[in-house]
Every structure is written in structure tokens, then in C-alpha cells.
């Protein structure tokens, strides 16, 4: 089946006072219909440029962007406007009209499309219920919290009945608890309506909570992509390692001269006393610098950062012991434990 989004050899650059900035360099990937797909990278990686190329708010210098098998770059302005109706977008700062109340904010894009007022309001109330905001229909944006504003923004997008929703750092302005509730809402929308969702973020925790697949950007290049579990368990590039290891272990104190490893457990081994067993087996303790259990794709995945004993032979035997028990083990370079991004 044809992917709902296909990007092929996309290039995009900008001219600045300092010279040419290559925001997207030969990027190719595809997104399947009904997927929740994450695009992640640190500041300056090119995430926002890439997502704006998906609906041609930014026009690529070259390459191809296909949605539902249709090459957007080949369309006339009128055809492109029609194609964009199937692509909704949610922004970090909500973009609500302050002079309009909630229901009128949701109706506004429908009015522009020429939807009769009665039908527009009926549709708006329907999607306000979907996001749990029907009681705020007459309120104004200034009277709402950040999470409530984002729910209104989501209802406004849903009212256009899109096939695709692009979320550009949609939770970055929200506190952690509100972020989790918004992500849970997006998951429910994906399940109930079958809408394909593309999530742009610099936070690995967001990717792990909501996405099934992820692409990692670094300085305008796509350096790694696959399922979230694949990337979490075995990141292959320095960019992916910094995002994954940095997402949980920021502030970990470095201890020079000691070997440091990252171990990842699957849904079953995370419940076994692996560290206790390895300490007993070798009669030597290890230093646990960081530990957490995450929900990835509906199953548990444990992660630890450990410092091994100074005796290299014992450290090697510990690594072999862990790998024999199907635990993923990777030795870390010291700089990966340094905080790289706020």
C-alpha cells in the first residue's frame, strides 16, 4: 500500500548574513497511513523546516513531497490549497484568535472554506466534546490555561476533518502533566479517527510516549530512522545516542577512569534482579548512576547507566554475563553523559 506521506531527496537552504544554511540535506523517508511518526533533533537540526515542507508552507529547493500519492510540488496554487485541507497543523503557541470565543475560533477556518454557519457550529461542538472542552465553548482564549488552549487548537484542526495532523513542538509550552494529557488525547484521536499524526519535538520522552516510528535529524540530515523501540534499544549514531541517553540521564556526574555502560531490558527482563545477580556472581558491586522504566509501544523497557569496577577483566566478564541474559549492553563515551540541550 502506498505510504500516505513520501519524502524523496528533499533539499532546503536559506540565505543568512552569515551565509547559506542547509536546513534539509537529501532527506528521504515515508510514513504509513494511520501511523504516529516522530521527527526529533536538537535545536537547529532542521525539524521545523522539514515539517513545513510536508505541506509546502516552506517550498523545498528540490526533491519530492507526495501526500496520498500526489506530488505537492507539481500542483497549481488552487490544487495545493485543496490538498492542504487534508493536512492539519498544531503549533507550539496555539495561534488562537484572542477576540473570538472558543466556538468561533473553531468555526473560523470552516467559514473561510464556505461551510454553512449551522453546519460549522454543529461540527465545532462535536469536536469540542472530543477534546473535553464543550463547557468552555463561550470562553475566550485569555480565560483558558495552556493545556485548554491546545485542546481548542486540536478541536479546530479536527473540525476540518484532516487525514494528517502535523504537530510542531505542540507540547513544548506545556508543563509535564499537561503534556502527557495532550499526548494521550492525540493517541486517542489517532485510534478513533485513524488520522496519521506527525510529531516534531526535541524531547525523547514525547517520542517514547506516543510514536511508533521515529526519524532522527542532525544539522539538516536524517541520520537514523526506525521503530521507537529499535532506536531506543540500539541507537547507532551519535545524534541518536545524545537524544536518548541525554533524555533521562542529564546531570549524571562523571567519574573519570571508570568504564560506563548503558543497559536496556526488554519487557520481561526488566522485572528480573539482573544487577543484584551480577553483583553476587562476581562479588563486586557496580555503581548505578541512572535507572528508569519506560513504556514504549505498550510494553515496559528498562534502562540503566552503570559504572563498572576498575578491574577491566571483571568488567569484561560482567558485560558478557549481561549479554548472555539477553540484556542489551553498550559502552558509553564520557561526553555522552554531559547535558547537551535544555
Averaged pLDDT in 10-residue chunks for the chain of 342 residues = 93 89 94 95 89 93 94 93 91 89 92 90 92 93 93 94 93 88 94 95 89 94 93 88 67 58 71 79 87 73 86 90 86 60 40
- The confidence score (pLDDT) of residue 18 equals 83
Number of Cα atoms under 13 Å in the Cβ half of residue 341: 19
Q: Which three cell numbers stand for residue 69?
A: 500519492
Q: How far are the Cα atoms of 62, 95, 161, 318 from residue 100, in angstroms, in the given order?
A: 40, 12, 21, 63
In eight-state DSSP terms, residue 144 is S
The angle that helices 146-159 and 176-193 make with each other, rounded to 10 degrees, is 20
Q: How far are the Cα atoms of 57, 100, 156, 197 from residue 106, in angstroms, in the given order?
A: 21, 9, 4, 20
Q: Which three cell numbers stand for residue 249?
A: 540521564
Q: What is the pLDDT of residues 289-311, one digit of tens each?
A: 888 777 776 677 778 888 998 88
- The confidence score (pLDDT) of residue 333 equals 73
- The confidence score (pLDDT) of residue 119 equals 92
The residues, ordered by sequence, that sit 6+ positions from 158 with a Cβ below 8 Å of its Cβ are 88, 127, 130, 131, 189, 193
- The confidence score (pLDDT) of residue 342 equals 38
- The confidence score (pLDDT) of residue 195 equals 96
CB-neighbour burial class of residue 281 (10 A; exposed 0-12, middle 13-18, buried 19+):
exposed
- The confidence score (pLDDT) of residue 341 equals 41
Give the full edge-to-edge strand order of the sheet including 260-265: 287-296, 299-307, 260-265, 328-331
The β-bridge partners of 262 are: 305, 330
| Cα 299-302-306 angle, rounded to 5 deg | 170
In terms of DSSP bridges, do strands 196-201 and 213-218 run parallel, antiparallel, or are they unpaired? unpaired
CB-neighbour burial class of residue 198 (10 A; exposed 0-12, middle 13-18, buried 19+):
buried
CB-neighbour burial class of residue 253 (10 A; exposed 0-12, middle 13-18, buried 19+):
exposed
Domains for the chain: give ranges and CATH numbers: 5-234 (3.40.50.300), 250-337 (3.30.70.260)
CB 307 within 8 A of CB 289: yes
CB 54 within 8 A of CB 5: yes
- The confidence score (pLDDT) of residue 42 equals 87
- The confidence score (pLDDT) of residue 325 equals 82
- The confidence score (pLDDT) of residue 289 equals 85
CB 319 within 8 A of CB 329: yes
The residues, ordered by sequence, that sit 6+ positions from 243 with a Cβ below 8 Å of its Cβ are 40, 41, 42, 202, 204, 216, 235
pTM: 0.83
The residues, ordered by sequence, that sit 6+ positions from 207 with a Cβ below 8 Å of its Cβ are 38, 40, 199, 201, 214, 228
Amino acid at each position: 500500500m502506498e505510504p500516505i506521506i513520501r519524502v524523496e531527496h528533499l533539499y532546503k537552504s536559506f540565505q543568512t548574513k552569515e551565509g547559506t544554511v542547509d536546513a534539509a540535506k537529501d532527506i528521504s523517508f515515508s510514513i504509513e497511513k494511520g501511523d504516529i511518526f516522530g521527527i526529533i533533533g536538537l535545536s537547529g537540526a532542521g525539524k521545523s523546516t522539514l515539517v513545513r515542507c510536508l505541506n509546502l508552507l516552506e517550498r523545498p529547493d528540490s526533491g519530492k513531497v507526495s501526500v496520498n500519492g500526489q506530488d505537492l510540488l507539481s500542483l497549481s496554487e488552487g490544487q495545493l490549497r485543496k490538498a492542504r485541507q487534508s493536512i492539519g497543523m498544531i503549533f507550539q503557541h496555539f495561534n488562537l484568535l484572542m477576540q473570538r470565543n472558543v466556538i468561533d475560533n473553531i468555526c473560523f477556518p470552516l467559514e473561510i472554506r464556505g461551510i454553512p454557519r449551522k453546519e460549522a457550529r454543529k461540527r465545532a461542538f462535536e469536536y469540542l466534546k472530543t477534546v473535553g472542552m464543550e463547557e468552555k465553548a463561550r470562553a475566550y482564549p485569555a480565560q483558558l490555561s495552556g493545556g485548554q488552549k491546545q485542546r481548542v487548537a486540536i478541536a479546530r484542526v479536527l473540525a476540518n476533518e484532516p487525514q494528517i495532523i502535523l504537530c510542531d513542538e505542540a507540547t513544548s509550552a506545556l508543563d509535564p502533566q499537561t503534556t502527557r494529557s495532550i499526548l494521550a488525547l492525540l493517541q486517542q484521536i489517532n485510534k478513533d479517527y485513524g488520522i496519521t499524526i506527525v510529531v516534531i519535538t526535541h524531547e525523547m520522552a514525547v517520542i517514547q510516549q506516543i510514536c511508533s516510528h521515529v526519524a532522527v535529524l542532525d544539522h539538516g540530515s536524517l541520520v537514523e530512522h526506525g521503530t521507537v523501540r529499535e532506536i531506543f534499544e540500539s541507537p547507532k549514531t551519535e545524534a541518536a545516542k545524545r537524544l536518548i541517553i541525554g533524555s533521562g540521564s542529564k546531570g549524571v556526574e562523571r567519574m573519570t577512569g571508570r568504564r560506563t555502560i548503558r543497559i536496556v531490558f526488554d519487557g520481561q527482563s526488566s522485572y528480573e534482579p539482573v544487577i543484584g545477580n551480577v553483583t553476587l556472581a562476581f562479588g563486586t558491586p557496580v555503581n548505578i548512576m541512572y535507572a528508569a522504566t519506560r513504556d514504549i509501544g505498550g510494553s515496559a523497557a528498562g534502562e540503566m547507566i552503570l559504572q563498572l569496577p576498575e578491574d577491566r577483566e571483571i568488567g569484561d566478564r560482567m558485560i558478557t554475563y549481561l549479554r548472555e541474559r539477553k540484556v542489551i549492553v553498550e559502552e558509553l563515551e564520557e561526553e555522552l553523559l554531559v547535558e547537551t540541550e535544555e
